[in-house]
Amino acid sequence: MKTLLNNTSNASNIINGFTGFNRVKVTNSSNENNSGSKFHFSTIKTAITGENLLKPKANTEMNLGQIPNLRDVCLNLFNTFFINDAPYSALQFVPILEKLQTINQDQIRRFLLNPETNHVLIQNDLIKVVLIHWKPGKISSIHGHPSGGCVFKVLQGQVEELRYTTDASPQLLSSSTYMAGSMAYIDDRMGYHAVGNPFNSPAVSLHAYTPGIKK
């Protein structure tokens, strides 16, 4: 897995880009707050099952064959919260995504015909998973991430990632190209980034985020 490390640090979570979680303020100011937070996230983990984990729209699209069937992957990503202690990190998703080797090409072809390009598969207080079709020329804005960071894997084609400083006027730090099968991790300590497809063929990638909720 390719990562680009630097010592940039910034408490900001967003710059003109991704913000995906219902923000939950968790403090350590009292035992009452701690126990309430633990109860809240414990309830989330036990209340969500394979039946209700996916967003209803994503579930319907998978049933209709409009997007690849990633139910097992999504469930396995969510299950990492049962074997890891808070604070959580998107790095806990890496072993699951490493096992995701191929997607059925018929499913990919149907997905590329779907006029929508961004598909939120999961979104709750612990995890957000997004499947993205990068048409040639498509690029995201420069953005930061929740404190738990983001890991993404290229499933088809290739994408380019541009990493930037986290100050008010972001400066380019690096440029990397990721081929199908490649993975990358980033959080705001490493920089902001923009992801896009400057190539001539479509690309598909799967992105998983966590806010890094603490106990």
Instruction: Say what the pTM is.
Output: 0.81
pLDDT tens, position by position, 129-142: 999 999 999 999 99
Angle ∠(76,142,201) on CA atoms, nearest 5: 70
Strand partners, 181: none
For residue 123, name the pLDDT band (cuts at 50, 70, 90): very high
Give residue-wise pLDDT tens across range 129-187. 999 999 999 999 999 999 999 999 999 999 999 999 999 999 999 999 999 999 999 99
Torsion of the alpha carbons at 53, 54, 57 and 60, rounded to the nearest 10: -100
Question: CA 138 to CA 117: how far, in whole Å?
Answer: 10
The pLDDT value recorded for residue 49 is: 62
Q: Would you state the pLDDT for residue 65?
A: 95
Is residue 21 predicted with pLDDT exceeding 50?
A: no
Residue 14 has phi, psi (to 5 degrees) of: -155, 140
The pLDDT tens digits for 77-108 are 999 999 988 899 999 999 999 999 889 999 99
Instruction: Round to whole Å and give the CA distance between 5 and 7.
Output: 7
Q: What is the pLDDT of residue 214?
A: 61
Higher pLDDT, 145 or 45: 145
Q: Which residue segments constitute the domains of the chain, with CATH numbers given?
A: 31-209 (2.60.120.10)
